[in-house]
Chain A
Amino acid sequence: MGTHVLDDWGGLSLDELLRDCRDLVEDPDYPTVRRWREAGGKVVGHFEVYFPEEIVAAAGLLPVKIHGAPIEARQGDAHFGSNLCSIVKTSLELALSGRLELEMFVSHPICDTARNLAAVWGRNVPYPCEILYLPQNATSRHAATYLRGEYQRLQRGVEEIAGRTVNDDDLRRAIAVYNENRRLLRRLYEIKRETPWLLQVDEAYVLVALGGRIPREEHNLLLSAVIPMLEQRGTAPQDRMRIVFEGGFCEQPPLDLLTTIAQSSYVVDDDLLIGLRWLSEDVATDGDPLANLATAYLDHSSYSPVQHDDRKPKEEMLLRRIRESGAGAAIISAAKMCEPGLDEQVPYVRALEAEGIPYFVNEFEENMTSFDSLQIQLETFIENVLFAGAEV
């Protein structure tokens, strides 16, 4: 389906493009998805963290990443307890309020709340809702075969929604589109690491996030145009601390929080929306495409607190992220009430202390609106590190 869902952006300046991307990402009414539906398209929504969008795209459907929204969960609140993260409530709110219309919803066993989310969602909407059981025993010799079968099961469900079958060539074409997208996203993060003054964390965020709500072919066109403009941006480097932000693998911090951080530091790497960047290498386009996707998920992928993999101890992966990005400090964040994120703060902090790397610990919520206190704390932290070498 060759539908374009973005307004014509030809001729816009970089700043205008970034502004428009930000507006789209912050719009809880998902105008790009609405446009897709108005053209007769169908939509599969998937919750954090990783989802093999290629399988949905191969069927001609639009995969949409659902990661909460800066909205009041008027209906969503009533379906959940009080001691839960915000993202499950606002994500459900998107569906119950009619802002986001879907033909199918998929969640993952990333945490105990997310598994409940699929059940709650399913009790309250008429379309299929299910869990995609991504393997939690990533080092089992049987994980890849199992995951291939699980992807095949997903494919059958997607085919029912699409009203057509998906063959290997459809999958290979989708994988090629996503490989190109992965290449462009890797380039975006290279710019952040190598010349962070050219691309602020909030700007990179909106460029990545937009991919979760438009066809990837269109995202590729956009990134292909934006990246050269970034490379030629005339911003001069400033004397700012290079920092890694960790804690954005599921619920996302408000964009204004990222903007606040950007005012005092260069975020040279992060785990924001890591699911959209989960596969770290291109996926093979020859052979069995579902097996290739399964292998890529297990063996050529990033890390997060909600995937258990003995080969990727999280604190070691964080230290590697810091080293490879040349960062001098880390923000160790977690969404409020996010148990996996809060669990992981303990080994992160211990590893950073052992390595003598300064860190700043905080919690956020997607709906928070006041950042003055954070700004003061962060500036104090940075001053301490720069002038006293102290930890906060």
Chain B
Amino acid sequence: MDNDTSPKVAPQATLDSSELVGRGNREGNRLFKEWYGRVSSGPERGEKAAYVFVMGSAAELFESFGFNLVLPEINGLQTAVRHVAEDYIDQAEGYGFATDVCGYVKADVGMQLRGGDHPMGRIPPPDLALQTNVCNTYIKWGEIWERLYHVPVVTLDIPGSRAAGRLPGRGHVDYENDLAYVRGQVDELVEVCEQVSGRRFDQDRLVEAMSHANSMTRDWVRVLELNKSRPAVYNAVTDGTVYLGAVNALRGRVEGADYFRDVVEELEYKASHGLGTPFEERHRLAFVGVPCYPIYRKFSEMFTQHGGIFVGSSYTWFASGGWSTGYEYDLAHPLDSLAEGLLVTGRAAMDTMFHVDRVLAEMAEPYGIDGIVFHAIKSCRTVSSGLADSRRAVLEQADVNALLIDSDHMDPRVVAEAGMRNRVDAFFEGLETRRLLAGARS
């Protein structure tokens, strides 16, 4: 019986390693800067800005209307990675927002109050915004833009799973009720897009964007699967975040499809040649939550210095908007399929936060996971509220070690680096001890 669960990769003899390896990160960063440049200069070309969130962005529809996508969560994390988040957060707190409000929200409020000034460019104000309920804070966030700018802020309500594992599919009365609701809201969104853009809905342009999105989705699923390889071909937290930027910023665009085709090519090459990350791989880890952006590099090093490589990350599931499900649009029925895609992926994104224990238990064996790191962040109740309980549940289902640490993804004032490092060190001591004991037993 073949127990090898590694992805099957065709050997590729003619590719040049120096060109291929690391290309995904280089190109991802280049495309990302290019995207910010396009967003910043959009008003000069008379282009309009649609503010959307990474979960339920409906990017393909906005692409078909020619909007530039602004992704406020990505704006927020960029201020944290570039160590200026505190300035923006301070400004929002001075405006009245409490310390316990989401750091992303406050960074955005700070940015809006300073006219869109941002480390990556000048972010235009919204002409239109779309808020889904995949994160409730999205809705409160959208209300802030309504008050600041008095522009259309559309809610797209995506009903999630009612209970763990309860996933009715096509034909089920509950699924069809949810789908009809989302489908109706998509029509309403199209009406608003037409009003704001001054353009009529163009089905051909939507189909083109959906076709690129389908290509990206297929490749995204492949990227996630390729990290079953030993050694892992990328670090799901650091490299994975670069890929996520492209998933969200370039969704529905030809350069996004091209980019992911290249990423798959690179990772398949690495897998077929036994190439891993630049670090020794002693422990294969799964990450749950959102990275600690205020100390992004040091946070990653806390794990890599012990040989801990993240082969999977719940961030790549929910922050890709649930596209890890592999849902592909039916191009013959674009609006129907857009609605179903939003329902299926939105629901999946929620499930990978609220019921993450189930996904982790399923992936532990095929990905060869030794340990799971749960990173609860003060800002985000969506991701973090249930982590302590999820950790307990996973430990009952899978034979792994698990670590729960607390910090924040935005606010450096609540990141206790030394304490976190101590706990990470102890976690690896536990993993090493477990390995020694396993070796002694065998």
Measured CB to CB, the residues of A under 8 A from B are 78-84, 88, 109-113, 115-120, 122-124, 128-133, 135-137, 140-143, 145-146, 149-150, 153, 305-306, 308, 334, 336-337, 339-340, 342-347, 349-350
**Do A123 and B177 have beta carbons less than 8 Å apart?**
no
Given A115-B160, A119-B386, A149-B173 in contact, is the A141-B101 Cβ separation under 8 Å? no
Answer yes or no: B230 CB below 8 A from chain A CBs.
Answer: no
Q: Chain B: interface residue count, which band?
A: 35 or more
Closest to A77 in B: B388
Distance A340 CA – B384 CA, assembled complex (angstroms): 16
Answer yes or no: B305 CB below 8 A from chain A CBs.
Answer: no
Given A82-B406, A337-B100, A347-B147 in contact, is the A133-B354 Cβ separation under 8 Å? no
**Do A136 and B155 have beta carbons less than 8 Å apart?**
yes
Answer yes or no: B389 CB below 8 A from chain A CBs.
Answer: yes
Given A112-B380, A308-B139, A340-B136 in contact, is the A345-B96 Cβ separation under 8 Å? yes
Distance A143 CA – B385 CA, assembled complex (angstroms): 28
- Which of chain B's residues have a CB closer than 8 A to the CB of A350? 96
**Do A150 and B381 have beta carbons less than 8 Å apart?**
no
Known: A119-B164, A149-B174. 16 other contacts (CB 8 A): A84-B385, A109-B160, A112-B382, A113-B385, A115-B382, A120-B386, A120-B389, A123-B164, A123-B389, A130-B163, A133-B162, A149-B177, A339-B137, A340-B140, A345-B96, A347-B143
- Which of chain A's residues have a CB closer than 8 A to the CB of B173? 149, 153
Question: B143, B378, B406: which contacts A308 (Cβ < 8 A)?
Answer: B143
Distance A301 CA – B323 CA, assembled complex (angstroms): 37
- Which of chain A's residues have a CB closer than 8 A to the CB of B161? 131
- Which of chain B's residues have a CB closer than 8 A to the CB of A135? 157, 181
- Which of chain B's residues have a CB closer than 8 A to the CB of A145? 180-181
**Do A78 and B388 have beta carbons less than 8 Å apart?**
yes
In B169-183, the 8 Å CB interface with A consists of 173-174, 177-178, 180-181
**Do A116 and B354 have beta carbons less than 8 Å apart?**
yes
**Do B160 and A81 have beta carbons less than 8 Å apart?**
no
Distance A117 CA – B381 CA, assembled complex (angstroms): 11
**Do A129 and B163 have beta carbons less than 8 Å apart?**
yes
Answer yes or no: B277 CB below 8 A from chain A CBs.
Answer: no
**Do A124 and B389 have beta carbons less than 8 Å apart?**
yes
Distance A50 CA – B284 CA, assembled complex (angstroms): 45
Residue picked from B137, B354, B378, B381, most chain A C-beta under 10 Å: B381
Answer yes or no: B133 CB below 8 A from chain A CBs.
Answer: yes
Answer yes or no: B28 CB below 8 A from chain A CBs.
Answer: no
Given A130-B162, A131-B162 in contact, is the A109-B181 Cβ separation under 8 Å? no
- Which of chain A's residues have a CB closer than 8 A to the CB of B376? 81, 83
The 17 sampled A-B contact pairs (Cβ below 8 Å) are: A81-B406, A83-B376, A88-B385, A111-B381, A115-B136, A115-B350, A115-B382, A117-B385, A119-B355, A123-B393, A131-B163, A136-B139, A137-B185, A145-B181, A305-B140, A347-B147, A349-B96
**Do A146 and B181 have beta carbons less than 8 Å apart?**
yes
Question: B140, B350, B353, B406: which contacts A339 (Cβ < 8 A)?
Answer: B140
Answer yes or no: B387 CB below 8 A from chain A CBs.
Answer: yes
- Which of chain B's residues have a CB closer than 8 A to the CB of A117? 385
- Which of chain A's residues have a CB closer than 8 A to the CB of B95? 346
Minimum CB–CB distance for B423 against chain A, Å? 14
In B78-106, the 8 Å CB interface with A consists of 95-98, 100-102, 105
- Which of chain A's residues have a CB closer than 8 A to the CB of B388? 78-81
Distance A243 CA – B96 CA, assembled complex (angstroms): 22
Distance A140 CA – B385 CA, assembled complex (angstroms): 30
